[in-house]
Structure 1
Amino acid sequence: MREWLGLVEAAGELKHVRGAGSEEDIGAITEMLDHNENSPCVLFDEIPNFQPGYRVLSNSMGSRKRQAITLGLDPAGASHERLLQFWRDILKGFTPIPPVQVKRGSIQENVLRDNEVDLSRFPAPIWHPLDGGRFIGTASVNIMRDPDTGAINAGTYRNQVFDKNSIGIRVAPPHHGGIIKEKYMQRGQPCPIVTVVGADPLLFLASCVEGLSFGQSEFDWAGGVRGKPIEVIQGEVTGLPIPAHAEIALEGFVTTDEFRKEGPYGEWMGYYQDGYEKDRVVRIHRIYHRNNPIILGCPQGKPPHEDNRFLAYLRSGMIWDQLEKAGVPGVCGVWSPPEGGNRLMTVVAIKTQYLGHSKQAGLIASQCAGAVEMNRLTVVVDEHVDVTSLQDVVWAIVARCDPERGVEIIKDAKGSRIDMAIAPDRRELKANSRMIIDATTPFEWKNHPLAGNIISTPERSRATREHWGWILD
């Protein structure tokens, strides 16, 4: 992360804030950053009641420039098209690179063992006013090993601080980490775990990815994206791999017989999730941290927030790739709008080639691996519609979709208990419905004289902006 911070600061994308409190200020400032596109990332230091040098970083990848730096691209050329094309190219020719173990890493500058463990030294914020406590893990990388296959999984789940040597982990099947944890619980064994709360932004991004096959390691995936292996050390207690140059790592076990009340917590749909009466305790036996350690924070909240912005490109690229692999021709654009929390809405532009083409694209886009988790609305539009512009998409819907002909409803799809649109007494079923809107010109009369010619073509709009766009500056 330190090298990344240097590049970000050189690009003018980092601001330093001193004296902001961990109980109100950091969370409120982060919410403000989330809701302003292209806002800087902020490094908080000199946090009241904590040792100077113990820091918090938020909004790390909330801008296209910082996303480009994370991916090793030139931030000066960080356009929407460049980021989306990067992910499309990666997904088409992707070769995972496994991590490499090293003898020592900067994460070992400080190692606290057993009775020395004290989580209260770290300024974990109370991110939202009604949160149930301090959440040290909002951009955490939770590392586990499958007891059956030995495969390493890294996933991002929320981690509340319970006391000086214990945290929570809110993870359950069908998340891969939840599947692994339950395998240990069914055996009556504690689950070895390392929770990294100050990771390289690329590894954090990898741990957020939905759509990787079960058993595919996020370490290998991140190495493949970067083009070189992630360096790791071996944990003293669990033997799990720990990123050698991370800021803070907590090593221990998910217990079989210890439970605590977890939450509430402000979740990603913009509402508080009431938490859990009995959440398994993660007992920490080792803390590894660098000098002047940094907690990486990415709290949830009303969309769009930071992870909505950086995951939009990857998720859109994944859905586009999966549509093509499913045999859908003529796909011209895909976008998962940050305003829809990435999961809730997908827009697909196609050049229709046959009757039923738009329905095929909509059905597959709503159920493929990149979109199946909680998708609510899938919109299919003609090729001239800018899928990244909600203004354009709404225009396409109201101009081209007759509800009787153009709307399909799918019931009992993959949902979540935190879905605020599901009736409270049905949320444990984790099933939702979803709407597919066909906002394309109907194929059977697209060549009719009265089908309509658009006034503002993409070519004309692009040429005008290139020549006269300075007027808007």
Structure 2
Amino acid sequence: DVIGALRGEPVEVFTSDVSGLPLPAHAEIILDGYIDPNDLREEGPFGEYTGYYSGKTGEEWPKQVLHVQRVWRRRKPVFYATSVGKPITDTHMIQSLNRTATLWTDLLAAGVPGIRSVYLPPQGGGRFWGIVSVKTMYPGHSMHVAMAAHSTTTGHYGMKGVIVVDEDIPADDIDRVLWALAVRYDPYRSTEIIKRARSTPLDPALPITERDIGSKIIMDATIPYEWDRKPEEIFLDEETVRKVKARWSDFGLD
């Protein structure tokens, strides 16, 4: 029903003589069978998006088993897959795209004002770190944004850090975000640590036996709204920049 709604037309199906379920008639590959909730077995090890293996000795947890009774496939099926390893792979790009969208949606649904852009960079697995650009409108606004981000459906599970920057810094411009951290962030004033927060069992930064609970950090790289005197930013003269660029090739820099 969901796919049909997205496509704007029904999905052709047939009834399985094994499970009795409706199956998509034009699927590339279908594994037809059943899952016994009481049949639990250890899985792995296999590579994860963290760049480390999971399911190694000492960190196994039982999973339900799929009992395959029949495999349906096209004559020349196409099997879609993604690669997993250290960032950046296609898996990290997919997670970044997906979780960036869901975090932004979550913040809008929470009624947080002033959001300009959101980004969960693939360098952080597309999950562990979030960056939010905001137009600050009142004292404490940036902290409101960060706490809201950590409290969302997307942010409360697995996202360890939120960096908040001013609206002149696009959340996906990592170079400018690092600049903001260098010149607008004060470790004492601008850092908050949240203890005993939900974590993910895939986080290799935590001991194997303690991965349900971790901590979160807020790094506020905005210029405080309440400051009467704010630092004055440098801007190059546009005409000078234009003249230099026009002679770029003369300097052998094109």
Range class of TM-score, shorter chain: 0.7 to 0.9
Partner of 1:245: 26
Partner of 1:270: 51
Partner of 1:236: 17
1:380 aligns with 2:164: yes
Partner of 1:453: 233
Kindly report which structure 2 residues correspond to 1:57-96, keeping only aligned pairs within 5 A, or say none. Answer: none
Matched AA of 1:455: F
Matched AA of 1:252: G
Partner of 2:202: 418
Partner of 2:215: 433
Contact 2:120–2:131 (CA under 8 A) maintained in structure 1: yes
Cα distance between partner residues in 2 of 1:312 and 1:229:
31
Cα distance between partner residues in 2 of 1:277 and 1:385:
42
Q: Give the Å deviation of 1:451.
A: 2.0
Cα distance between partner residues in 2 of 1:371 and 1:224:
28
Cα distance between partner residues in 1 of 2:10 and 2:157:
29
Cα distance between partner residues in 1 of 2:219 and 2:151:
14
Matched AA of 1:300: V
Q: Give the Å deviation of 1:350.
A: 0.7
Give the 3 Å change call, closer, same or farther, for CA 451–369 of structure 1 in structure 2.
Answer: same
Give the 3 Å change call, closer, same or farther, for CA 259–323 of structure 1 in structure 2.
Answer: closer
Q: Give the Å deviation of 1:230.
A: 4.2
1:285 aligns with 2:66: no
Contact 1:346–1:366 (CA under 8 A) maintained in structure 2: no
Q: CA RMSD in A?
A: 2.8
Q: Give the Å deviation of 1:329.
A: 1.1
Cα distance between partner residues in 2 of 1:401 and 1:332:
19
Cα distance between partner residues in 1 of 2:144 and 2:152:
12
1:371 aligns with 2:155: yes
Cα distance between partner residues in 1 of 2:11 and 2:155:
28
Q: What are the superposed Cα offsets for residues 65-109 of structure 1, whole Å, 9 maximum, x if unpaired?
A: xxxxxxxxxxxxxxxxxxxxxxxxxxxxxxxxx2xxxxxxxxxxx
Give the 3 Å change call, closer, same or farther, for CA 257–380 of structure 1 in structure 2.
Answer: closer
Give the 3 Å change call, closer, same or farther, for CA 244–373 of structure 1 in structure 2.
Answer: farther
Matched AA of 2:23: I
TM-score normalised by the chain length of structure 1: 0.47
Q: What are the superposed Cα offsets for residues 138-177 of structure 1, whole Å, 9 maximum, x if unpaired?
A: xxxxxxxxxxxxxxxxxxxxxxxxxxxxxxxxxxxxxxxx
Partner of 2:189: 405
The one of 205, 226, 235 equivalent to 1:444 is 226
SS across alignment from 2:188:
helix
Matched AA of 1:438: D
1:340 aligns with 2:121: no
Contact 2:131–2:162 (CA under 8 A) maintained in structure 1: yes
Where does structure 1 lack aligned partners over 5 or more consecutive residues?
1-97, 99-219
Contact 2:49–2:91 (CA under 8 A) maintained in structure 1: no
1:393 aligns with 2:177: yes
Matched AA of 1:293: P
Cα distance between partner residues in 1 of 2:6 and 2:235:
41
User: Computing the radius of gyration over CA atoms, which structure comes out larger, 1 or 2?
Assistant: 2
Q: Give the Å deviation of 1:229.
A: 4.6
Contact 1:260–1:278 (CA under 8 A) maintained in structure 2: yes
Matched AA of 1:234: T
Give the 3 Å change call, closer, same or farther, for CA 400–239 of structure 1 in structure 2.
Answer: farther
Contact 2:97–2:126 (CA under 8 A) maintained in structure 1: no
Q: Give the Å deviation of 1:318.
A: 2.2
Cα distance between partner residues in 1 of 2:22 and 2:119:
35
Q: Give the Å deviation of 1:410.
A: 1.2
Cα distance between partner residues in 1 of 2:63 and 2:108:
41
